[in-house]
Structure 1
Amino acid sequence: MAYRGHPWRREMPDPPALWSEGPARLLDYGGAGPVALFVPSLVNRATVLDLMPEHSMLRWLSGQGVRVLLLDWGAPGAAERGFTLTDWIAGRLERALEAAAAATGGPVSLVGYCMGGLLALAAALRTPARVRGLALLATPWDFHAGESAPRARAAAGLLPGLEPLLSATGTLPVDLLQLLFAGLDPFGIARKFRAFGRLDPTSPRAAHFVALEDWLNDGIPLPAPVARECLGGWYGANTPAAGTWRVAGAVVEPRAWRGPSFLAIPRGDRIVPPESARALAERLPDATVLDVPAGHIGMAAGMKAEAVLWRPLRNWLASAVRPSS
């Protein structure tokens, strides 16, 4: 296969770590200006935000007047296999946020991508004094919005059959996660590889395809308690939109956020339907909403990502200021 034989390999050194706990690290991409702490999903590696030397959202922003930090969750070890969402948010994320604020001298903007947006929102509501602004990129909220309810309930319906595996291994393995995502667009895989086969293998576009595909194939297993909470709670019972999703006992209520917020909603998103993300925008009191002409991954790391997301996000980060209380 042309993809397997392509010579491109990711060989980018990681920036220095300001803090670490277990496999998690707070990476410092440098830059001068307002501080932005990026919070990725728990199920994919954070490298999608730092894809290639010549195509990295984080490195671009650090050169464009933003001090960029990244919470790299790492792969769950024995301890993390028992983590709930409360453990991740009220524990590890909040301690990383505390370290970021201490290292940079003040509150930071939290930038959450996909599932990371829900984690960032919950952390911002719990520790508002450390958060200057809240940027949510392709972040779901209403898991039953539009036509997504049957698909969400079908995903939740898999949970009983997965329970023996979750109990035996402590995780939802990467291969099963990839099958769940592939089911969202079962014919898309064949289409993208046919398109790749028509590219000049020496072109930047071919290298970019390989970089994204390598990232997609290098996932992270999801701890079993989180898998249960996401599949049964988020997808099955729609707990965020229903007002019943709790972190450390408290309901996660977007209307309680008092700072500025920025929501980027990709109109071609098959993973997070735009209606799901728009439901969150409607609940945030001071929301700037960006309609992005891209898909879920293309928005953050596609060939046109600089124009459709990176620049608007940079401009918002430069202007985001919490109102004085």
Structure 2
Amino acid sequence: MLPFLLQIHLEEATHESAQLTHKLVKGMENLSQLREEDIEVGATPREVVFQEDKVKLYRFKSPVDQKKTVKTPILMVYALVNRPFMVDLQEDRSLVANLLKLGLDIYLIDWGYPGRGDRWLTLDDYINGYLNNCVDFIRTSHQLDKVNLLGICQGGTFSLCYSSLYPDKVNNLVVMVAPVDFHQPETLLNMRGGCTLGAEAIDVDLMVDALGNIPGDFLNLEFLMLKPQQLGIQEYLDVPDLMDSPEKLLNFLRMEKWIFDSPDQAGETYRQFMKDFYQGNKLIKNQVKIGDRQVNLLNLTMPILNLYAEKDHLVPPASSLALAKYIDTQDYTAKGFPVGHIGMYVSGKVQRDLPPVIADWLRNRD
């Protein structure tokens, strides 16, 4: 006869095994019923209103009878890394949908997928070209001199540069989890980018000269290796616990689809961004040149709302909050949220609190 304690352990193990088997069987049933269109990201209806090369400008459709409470439209500028639809991941986790409900008129730039012929695109092409042309389209369409900008992550850095070069076209500037001071030696991404060792950390010239465009898969691996245990192992060990729930399984698959849908980076743009921003930290030194124009953060005199994630391992709060030291606006607001980088888009609590912060701030300055 087995000892009593050993018998309890066996009973627990048998019970847990039966539960796991049930979840796996139910999970396989759920997976077999899913279709590709069920995992699509970007839930809110939208239409292409302007296109240049591979860049598309979307305008989101407001709910029926939704009145605009902010007259000036807002242009969302996302990073070149990953697709912009993290801001509209699914119906119940959508910054776009929540802002639309609050009466904002929203445009979004989709940078597209650079191909081999795009390797020579520069920051000049993206900022003085595509971004400026999208802004001008909105200005002309609405017969306005200025628009509102919402720059997210690297798109926030782009928006800072753009607003410095074209302050007469920007009414209000909102930046979210945007890197500003890139010399953050205690942050792995910044160290990997060369903020401490420069080219000894990563030889950007060699990479671009050898590869042309920088593969999206390389960048994905770089981000995953910042937290290899959590993002590369534990995340997938937890999958059996959610497979028996169709809703949780879909949430997981949508996130995975977004994470691994990574466009390549135009080689020359990657070269300048890594060397000037990460290695040279030239943004806060007012040494960045976009084409033949100099970026000077002191030109940022418009109202600025700086949103950051307090637990961000990609863009540390110190990097974002440094902005206050280098601008000349008399209307500056900073607000943090107790989540990580991705949590700014998908956290239920943040999606409850963040959209009203943005909408109220813009409404008071419209």
- TM, length-normalised to structure 2: 0.80
In structure 1, the partner of 2:217 is 175
Using a 3 Å threshold, how does the CA distance of structure 1 residues 198 and 90 change in structure 2: closer, same or farther? same
Runs of 4+ in 1 over 4 A off after TM superposition: 1-6, 11-14, 162-165
Amino acid at match of 1:66: L
Q: 1:302, CA displacement in angstroms?
A: 2.7
Give the stretch that moved more between structures: 137-146 or 268-277.
Answer: 137-146
Give the stretch that moved more between structures: 211-220 or 119-128.
Answer: 119-128
SS of the residue 1:220 aligns to = coil
In structure 2, the partner of 1:217 is 260
| Kept after mapping to 2: 8 A contact 1:23/1:77 | no
| Kept after mapping to 1: 8 A contact 2:115/2:264 | no
Q: 1:203, CA displacement in angstroms?
A: 5.1
Question: In the alignment, does 2:107 pair up with 1:62?
Answer: no
| Kept after mapping to 2: 8 A contact 1:113/1:137 | yes
Gaps of 5+ in 1: none
Question: In the alignment, does 2:140 pair up with 1:140?
Answer: no
Question: In the alignment, does 2:328 pair up with 1:297?
Answer: no
Using a 3 Å threshold, how does the CA distance of structure 1 residues 165 and 211 change in structure 2: closer, same or farther? same
Q: 1:254, CA displacement in angstroms?
A: 2.1
Amino acid at match of 1:9: I
Question: In the alignment, does 2:229 pair up with 1:187?
Answer: yes
In structure 2, the partner of 1:274 is 317
Q: For residues 86 and 302 of structure 1, what CA distance do their matches in structure 2 show?
A: 34
Gaps of 5+ in 2: 1-23, 63-67
Question: In the alignment, does 2:80 pair up with 1:37?
Answer: no
Amino acid at match of 2:267: A
Q: 1:114, CA displacement in angstroms?
A: 0.3
Question: How many residues are matched?
Answer: 320
Q: For residues 129 and 355 of structure 2, what CA distance do their matches in structure 1 show?
A: 29
Using a 3 Å threshold, how does the CA distance of structure 1 residues 109 and 22 change in structure 2: closer, same or farther? same
In structure 2, the partner of 1:89 is 127
SS of the residue 1:28 aligns to = strand
SS of the residue 2:135 aligns to = helix
Which residues of 2 match residues 99-178 of structure 1 at below 5 A? 99-106=137-144, 107-145=146-184, 147-148=186-187, 150-153=191-194, 156-157=199-200, 159-160=202-203, 163=205, 166-178=208-220
1:92-123 per-residue CA deviation (whole Å, 9 max, x = no partner) reads 10000100111123221100000001111111
Q: 1:297, CA displacement in angstroms?
A: 1.3
Using a 3 Å threshold, how does the CA distance of structure 1 residues 207 and 305 change in structure 2: closer, same or farther? farther
Q: 1:206, CA displacement in angstroms?
A: 3.6
In structure 1, the partner of 2:298 is 255
SS of the residue 1:147 aligns to = coil
Q: For residues 246 and 187 of structure 1, what CA distance do their matches in structure 2 show?
A: 39
Give the stretch that moved more between structures: 5-14 or 69-78.
Answer: 5-14
Give the stretch that moved more between structures: 60-69 or 138-147.
Answer: 138-147
- Same amino acid, percent of matched pairs: 26
Give the stretch that moved more between structures: 244-253 or 283-292.
Answer: 244-253
Q: 1:229, CA displacement in angstroms?
A: 1.3
- TM, length-normalised to structure 1: 0.89
Using a 3 Å threshold, how does the CA distance of structure 1 residues 147 and 101 change in structure 2: closer, same or farther? same
